[in-house]
Amino acid sequence: MDEVGTKPSLRGFNLGGRVSNNGYCTAHDLRIESAQPKIKENELGLLVGFEITGATVNGSATSSSLLVDFGDIVPDTSGTAVGSWSAACPENLRSLRPILPTPTSWAGH
C-alpha cells in the first residue's frame, strides 16, 4: 500500500526550441536529437517518469520523438519545435522546473 502523499500524478509541460539560419545558404535536412529530461536534484529519491505526449515543428503536428526534423531552413528564416511532455510524479513533489543549458559558443559566431 502507498504511503500518504506518494500516489503518482501527471504534470504536463512544454519544451521548445528555435533554430535560425543567419547565413547565406540553405541548411538542408536540419535535424536535432535531444535526450530525455534528467533529474538534477531528488533528495527524497522519488520516482519520476517522463513521456512525450505530442510535438509540433513550425506549427504542424509531427511524431512524438526525441528527433526533431526541421527540414530545410532557408537563409534569414527560423524554425521552431515544441514537445509536450507529461511527468508521472508523486503528489508530494513540490516543484518541477526545467533547467536548460545555455550554449557558450556556436560554430561560426
Residue 2 pLDDT > 50: no
Cα dihedral across residues 20, 25, 26, 31: positive or negative: negative
Phi first, then psi, for residue 66 (nearest 5°) are -80, -5
* Cell, residue 6: 506518494
- The secondary structure of 12-42 as a DSSP string is EEEEEEEEEE-SSS-EEEEEEE------S--
Domain segments of the chain: what residues? 13-90
Instruction: Note the pLDDT tens digit of each residue in 89-104.
Output: 655 555 555 544 444 4
- Confidence band of 1 (pLDDT split at 50, 70, 90): very low
Q: Is the pTM of this model over 0.85?
A: no
The one-character DSSP state at 2 is P
| CA proximity to 83, closest of 60, 59, 64 | 64
Which has more pLDDT, 15 or 88? 15
